Amino acid sequence: MSGILPELRTPQDAAPPPGPVLLPPHVPLLARALGGYSSSDPYWAHVNTVEAFSPGLYVVVDAKGRIVWLGMAAGDQGVTGRIRMHMVEPWKRAVFHRVWVAPSYDQISRPALEAAEGWAADALDLRTRMPHRTWPPSTNWLALVGQQPVS
């Protein structure tokens, strides 16, 4: 759902400007964004070695720890599959360094994931600090993620 605005899109081989540095207090916001669907604490991995096959949210940082991507993943391959899809773009291969993963339960709906991604973008102030990117709205976030998952 997240992306770069078409009119501001950079050439395939050029990275857009990075966002703010991801600080330790920011990391728990990813799990909070998922509400009752958060299945564990966020953890990090190098983008080439991430093994996160559940749905969830993820934040990618560059080698300097600056946020370069916030996204959501659903489907059979979860976050790992989504990161692999990103890595086909040359600028992402060059810039993506580590990924913070906030896994969710499989039962999370796409609207809940989208609202969680939007809430995380708001909580990290990315709409202001990365205006070249877009994220879904966080409309009805609490109603969507406050539901307890089915076990």
Q: Could you read off the pLDDT of 9-62 as tens digits, one per residue?
A: 555 567 889 999 999 999 999 999 999 999 999 999 999 999 999 999 999 999
Helix (H) or strand (E) run with residue 113 in it: helix 110-123
Confidence at 151, pLDDT banded by 50, 70, 90: low
The whole-angstrom distance between residue 29's C-alpha and the CA centroid of its chain comes to 11
- Picking from 93, 91, 88, 83, the residue whose alpha carbon sits closest to that of residue 59 is 83
Q: What's the whole-number mean pLDDT along residues 68-86?
A: 93
Query: Tens of pLDDT along 78-121?
Result: 999 999 999 999 999 999 999 999 999 999 999 999 999 999 99
Q: Does pLDDT of 4 surpass 60?
A: no
pLDDT of residue 14: 79
Of the chain, the end-to-end C-alpha distance in Å amounts to 27
pLDDT of residue 12: 56
pTM for the predicted model, two decimal places: 0.88
pLDDT of residue 15: 83
Domain extents in the chain: 18-128
Query: Tens of pLDDT along 110-124?
Result: 999 999 999 999 999
* Residues in CB range of 44: below 8 A, 6 or more apart: 98, 99, 100, 101
Q: What's the whole-number mean pLDDT along residues 135-146?
A: 93
Q: Which residue has the higher pLDDT, 57 or 74?
A: 57
Confidence at 2, pLDDT banded by 50, 70, 90: low
Q: What's the whole-number mean pLDDT along residues 129-135?
A: 93
Radius of gyration for the chain, computed over Cα atoms and rounded to the nearest angstrom: 14
